[in-house]
Structure 1
Amino acid sequence: FVNPALHEPFGLTLLEAAAAGVPVVATRCGGPSEIVERIGHGLLIDPRDEGAIAAACLRIVSDPALHRRLSAAARRNVGSYAWPRYAEASVARYVELAPAPALVACDIDGTLTGCREGAGAFADWAGGRHVPFVVATGRRFEEAQAIVAKWDLPEPDAYLTDVGSTMMLRGLAGAWRPCSDHASILDAGWARDEVARLIATLRIAPQPTVCQSRHKLSFFGTAAEATTIRARLAEAGLAALVVHSHGRLIDVLPPAGGKAAAIAAYAARHGAKLAACVAAGDSGNDRDMLARCGRAIVVANADRDLDGLARRRGLYRSRRPHAGGVVEGLAAHGLAAA
C-alpha cells in the first residue's frame, strides 16, 4: 500500500493496511512517520521524490524476505493503535487529573454488611471523615435505615434508595424527606405505564408490590430475560434503564435513573462532579456507579456480575470482603490510614 500524501495529519489508512498484513510505502510528512516507526511495517519516502517512491515499492515487491518481515511486523504490532487501548489510556489520563475525593457512596448489602469487624472499622472511619457519606442501595428507604441500625453503621448524609430512583435528604428539623427535584428529573422521558404494560406481555414475574415505586419496576428474572426486556423496550421506542443483579433481580428505571445518576445529582448539590466521587459496591446494581465515579472500590466478595467491569485507574479491587474491603479501598484512595 502506498500513501504519498504531501502531508498526513495521522494516517488511518496505514493502520488498515497493517491490520491486513500489507507492507506500506508512506510519506515521511506528518503522522505516518510515527506509525511506520512504531509498527515497523514499511518504508518512508519524500512524497515529492517520484524516483524514491518507485524504488521503495520495487524494493518491497522484489524481496520476498523483506515483504514477509514487514507483513509479520504489521500483524504483530498493529494492536498498539487499537481503539480499546487508546480509550483505556485516555481514561487513565483523565483519572490522573481527577479532583480530590469529595464524596463517598456505598452500597449496603454485602458491601457494608457481612462482617461485624469490618462494619466497626468502617464506622470508625466515618467518625473522623472529612467528606460526605451516602448510602446507595436497591432497598427501600425504611429497609435501608433498619439495616444501617442493625449493623451499627453510621447514619449517612443521604440515602439514595430504590437503585438510585429515590433520594432521601434531611430537612431542617432533622426529618428525612424525598428530594422532589430529583424526582422531577427522573420523570423526564419516563413512560412508566407503557413500560409496565409492555413488560407484562413478556410474562416475567414481578417482585412484590412493596418493591414497586413511581420510578422503579422490579421483577424476578435471569440476565437473558433482562436482555429481552431491553430489546423489546428499544423496539417499542421506550426509554428505560434495565439493571440485572444478584443473578435473579431485574429493576427497570427511568432513562435518567440508576445509582450513578443519583450520586451525580447529590454531588452537584455540594458543588462536586462525579469524577470527585468514590463508589463502593459488590453487585450488578452497583455497576454503573463503579464504572462512572472517578474512583471505585469493588469488595472481595463481589458477585460475578462485576467480573467484566473494565480495568482502569481509579478502580480498586479489595483483597478483603465487605466493609473491611471498603476501608482498604478508602486507604488506597488516600481517604483512610493504610
Structure 2
Amino acid sequence: MDAALAHAALPTVSHVSIVTRRFADAHLPVEHDVCREIVAERVTIDRIATDNALYLEKEALAAELPAFVQAFCTWLARLPALPDVIHAHFADAAAVAIAARRRFGIPFVYTPHALAIDKRGQGLGDDGLDARIAAERQAIAAADALIVSTRDEAERQVRAYGVAVEGRIHCIAPGVPQRLGGATAPTLVDRLGEMVDRPDLPIILAIARPVAKKNLAGLVRAYAGDASLQARANLVILAGQDDGRSSDEEGAIRAELSRLCDTPALGGRVALPQRHDAADVTALYRRAAQGGVFVNPALHEPFGLTLIEAAEAGVPVVATRYGGPSEIVAAIGHGLLVEPRDTAAIAAACRAIVGDAAAHAGFRAAALANHGRYDWGRYATDAVAVYRDLRRQPALLACDIDHTLTGCTAAAAAFAGWRRSASIPFVVATGRSFAEARAVLAQWQLPEPDAFITDVGTRIMLAGDDGAWRACPAYAAALDADWNLSAVRAALAPLGITPQAEATAGPHKLSFFGNATDAAAIRATLAAAGLSARVIFSHGRLIDVLAPAGGKAAAIAAYADRFGLTLADCVAAGDSGNDVDMLERCGAAIVVGNAGDELAMLAERPGLYRAERHHAAGVLEGLERLGLADAPAIAAPRIAA
C-alpha cells in the first residue's frame, strides 16, 4: 500500500491499481468482498471475482489461478485504457501478468519474494517445491524487468535459477510502512501485565509468520537457555493470527512455540498472543525501544522489512546474517548479525544490547538517524524509471496478403508454423475481397486469421459461433459518415479512368486501374466537388477510392477495440502503398524486404522495422525482432518466387 501511494504521488503517474482476488468470509473484513475500493486520490484496490467466492489459503490458490487469469483479462478488456505496466509480486502474480501481456501486450515487472531455491537450500522443501521453482524460473525468464530488494537477491538468489537476467534486473530497496501514529485504544502493551510477571522489564520482540524458515523456535530456545537474559528482559513473539484458519505448517509451528514456552523456567516470562493488530505492532515497537531489542532469527531472510520498521521506531536489532538483513544492518548500523542456528550466539547478542545501556543508546541513535535510507518515495521514483524504459509488446498482428505473406512457399509454410503456436490474435488486411482473400490463403496453405479486413479496410469479416463469416455491421455503419457513394461515382465518371471489375467495388469503395497521375486527378476532382474520400495508389497501377473513415488502419483499430486494444498495441506488416496507413499508425510496423518503392516514403520512426528477408520470411524476421517469434529457420530467397 505504501508503495502504491508513493507511486501515485509522482506527477508522471496517473493512477495505481492494486489488483487482488475478491472473496467473502465471515471471519474477515467485508472490504475483501468490495469490487473497487478508493484508497486515495489516484489509488484504488480492484478485486477480481471468480466463480469461487471463498477465501483460500496460499497453498490452495494454484488451482484457482486459471479462473483468475481469465477474470483478470476480462477486467482489463473493459477498462477505458490499458495500464502501461503490470508489477507482479510472487510467481503466481507473474503467471497472471504473462497471460495479460500475451493478450494485450502490457509489459510486466516481476518482484520475487522468498525464492523457493533458497528454501530448498535450507532443507525446508515440501511436495510443492519443484512446481514453485519451475513457476519462479518461468517468471524470471519472461519478465520484461525484475526489481529486487537486495544485492543478494540480484547477484545470488535470482541467478541460481540459471536464467540470463543481464540488463533486466534492478536492485531497489523498498521503504518502510509508517507505523508511528499514536494508538487510540488499549494495546497488547497495556495488557502485558496479564501475560508476564514483570511487565516493567525491557522486551525482546519478534514478529514473523509462524513458518519453519523464520526460526522462531530457535529464538525461544536461545532465550530459554540463558538465565541472565531471562532476568533482564521478557520475550514477546507475534506469530501471525491464530484464528483457526492456519496452514498445517503454521499450526505446527505455533504448537511447537506453545510447548517450548509452557515450562516452569519460562512461566511468566514469555508473551505469545494469539491475535494482534497494527496498533499492537506499533505499540510493541515503541516498548522495545525502551531498552529492548528486536530479533529476526530467520534461517534466511530475502529482505527483512521488520528490521527497517524497528529502525524507524529506534529499536536496536539482532538479525540473521543470511540474506537482506546483512545489507540493512550494514546500511543503518543499528544492531548485530548472528548465525541463526547458534542459539547461544542469539542469546549473547541480545544480552549485549539489553544489558549495555551505552550500546543500546548507540544502536538506537543509528536507527533513528539512518532508517530514512529506506524510503518509499525514492523506491517509487526509481521503479517508475524502470517502467519508463519498457515498451508495450504488440498484442495483435495485422498482415497484408499479396507479396507480404505470399511469394515464397517455404516462408509461407514457416509462417503457418508460427501461427500454430502464436499467442496473439492475427488478422489479414488486404485489398482483395473476402472470397478472393480466402482463396489465396488456401492456395498458399496459409492459415485463416481471427478476422478478415478486406476491400482495403472497408469491411471487417468476423466468424460467428456457428463458424459462418459475416460482415461487422457496426464498422459498416461507421463508414457511412461523410460518404456519398453515388455522388463520388458520378463525379469521377467524366475522367474516363478504367474501373476495376464491378466485383471489386463495395458500399464504401470504388476501384480503378491507373497511374500516379490518375490518382492525383481523382483527388483533385473530388476536392473540387466538395466530396470526402480517401484515395490510395498502390502497386504502381491500382487506385482505390474509400469512404473517408475507412482504410486498413481504421479497420484494425475497430477490431482491436473489441479486445480493449489500440493501434499502439498492434504490429502491421505490408509491402505496398495500400499498407501505408497501417504501417504509419500501428505501434510497430514491418516492411518486408521485397516492398515496393511506394514504402520508401515511410518516415523512419521507433517501431518501424525494414526487414532484409522477403515475403513471409520478412514478417517472421520482424516478429523475431519484437520478441514474438523465433529466428526464421529457413533460407528464404530475397527475390519473388
Is the 2:397–2:427 contact (alpha carbons within 8 Å) kept by the matching residues of 1? yes
Tell me how far 1:333 sits from its aligned partner: 1.3
The equivalences for 1:154-233 within 5 A come to 154-233=447-526
> Over the residues paired in the alignment, what is the CA RMSD in angstroms?
1.2
SS of 2:537's equivalent? strand
Instruction: Tell me if structure 1 keeps the 8 A contact 2:415–2:620.
Output: yes
Distance, in Å, in 2 between the alignment partners of 1:96 and 1:138 is: 37
Shift of 1:98: 5.1
Which residue pairs with 1:15 in the alignment? none
Q: Distance in 2 between matches of 1:139 and 1:196?
A: 20
Distance (Å, rounded) in 2 between the aligned partners of 1:332 and 1:191: 43
| Aligned twin of 1:127 | 420
Please tell me whether residue 330 in structure 1 is matched to residue 618 in structure 2: no
Residue-by-residue CA offset, 1:39-74 (whole Å, 9 max, x unaligned): xxxxxxxxxxxxxxxxxxxxxxxxxxxxxxxxxxxx
1:292-331: CA deviations, max 9, x gaps? 1010000011111111111111001110000000000001
What one-letter code is carried by the residue in structure 2 that aligns with 1:119? A
- Per-residue Cα deviation, 1:145-171 (whole angstroms, up to 9, x for no partner): 011111111110000000011100001
Per the alignment, residue 310 of structure 1 pairs with: 603
Aligned equivalents of 2:610, 2:602: Cα separation in 1:
11
**Contact 1:158 1:170 (C-alpha < 8 Å) held by counterparts:** yes
**Aligned letter for 1:141?**
F
SS of the residue corresponding to residue 495 of structure 2 reads coil
Contact (CA 8 Å) 1:98, 1:294: kept in 2 or not?
Answer: no
* 1:253 matches 2:550: no
Letter in 2 for 1:331: E
Which structure 2 segments of 5+ residues have no match? 1-387, 632-641
The 8 Å contact of residues 458 and 551 in structure 2, kept in 1 or not, is answered as: yes
The count of residues paired between Structure 1 and Structure 2 equals 244
- The AA in structure 1 aligned to 2:442 is A
Indicate the residue corresponding to 2:430 in structure 1: 137
Residue 97 (structure 1) shift: 6.7
2:131 corresponds in structure 1 to none
SS of the counterpart of 1:271? Answer: coil
CA 1:184 to 1:98, structure 2 compared with 1: closer, same or farther past 3 Å? farther
- Give, in whole Å, the separation in 1 of the partners of 2:393 and 2:561: 15
Q: Specify whether residues 162 and 96 from structure 1 end up closer, same or farther in structure 2 by C-alpha distance, changes over 3 A only.
A: farther
Q: Structure 1 residue 96: deviation in Å?
A: 7.0
Counterpart in the other structure of 2:46: none
Is 1:321 the equivalent of 2:614? yes
Tell me if structure 2 keeps the 8 A contact 1:98–1:276.
no
CA shift for structure 1 position 219: 0.4
Read off the aligned partner of 1:193 and give its amino acid letter: S
Amino acid at match of 2:535: V
Structure-1 separation of matches of 2:466 and 2:389: 41
Write out per-residue CA displacement over residues 243-262 of structure 1, whole angstroms, 9 at most, x where no aligned residue. Answer: 00010110000000110000
The answer on whether the counterparts of 1:222 and 1:247 sit within 8 Å (CA) in structure 2 is yes
TM-score by length of 2: 0.38
User: Residue 201 of structure 1 aligns to a residue in which SS?
Assistant: helix
Report the Cα distance in structure 2 between the residues aligned to 1:301 and 1:232, rounded to whole angstroms. Answer: 33
Q: Residues 297 and 151 (structure 1 numbering): CA distance in 2 closer, same or farther, change over 3 Å?
A: same
CA distance in structure 2 between the partners assigned to 1:119 and 1:185 by the alignment: 34
Residue 456 of structure 2 aligns to which amino acid in structure 1? V
Which residue of structure 2 lines up, in the alignment, with residue 149 of structure 1? 442
Q: 1:235 to 1:269 in 2, by over 3 A?
A: same
Name the SS of the counterpart of 2:565 in structure 1.
Answer: coil
Q: 1:96 to 1:254 in 2, by over 3 A?
A: farther
Given residue 129 of structure 1, which amino acid in structure 2 is its aligned partner? A
Contact 1:105 1:280 in 2 (8 A): yes
**Contact map agreement 2:589 2:608 (CA 8 A) in 1:** yes
Matched residue, 1:287: 580
Alpha-carbon displacement from aligned partner over 1:65-86 (angstroms, at most 9, x marks no partner): xxxxxxxxxxxxxxxxxxxxxx
Asked if structure 2 preserves the Cα contact closer than 8 Å seen for 1:98 and 1:275, the reply is no
CA distance in 1, matches of 2:593, 2:475: 32
Quick one: distance in 1 between partners of 2:389 and 2:522?
37
For residues 125 and 196 of structure 1, the distance between their equivalents in structure 2, rounded to whole angstroms, comes to: 43
| Corresponding residue number in structure 1 for 2:400 | 107
Q: CA deviation at 1:234?
A: 1.4
Q: Which has the higher contact order (CA 8 A, sep 6+)?
A: 1
Q: Quick check: 2:393–2:626 contact (8 Å CA) kept in 1?
A: no
Task: Give CA deviations for 1:274-296 in whole Å, capped at 9, x if unaligned.
Answer: 01100000011011101110100
Distance 1:212 1:156 in 2: 23
Q: Is the 8 A contact 1:226 1:250 kept in 2?
A: yes
Paired residue for 1:240? Answer: 533
2:484 maps to a residue whose letter is A
| TM-score, normalised by the number of residues in structure 1 | 0.71
Unaligned runs of 5+ in 1: 1-94
C-alpha separation between the residues in 2 aligned to 1:96 and 1:171? 40
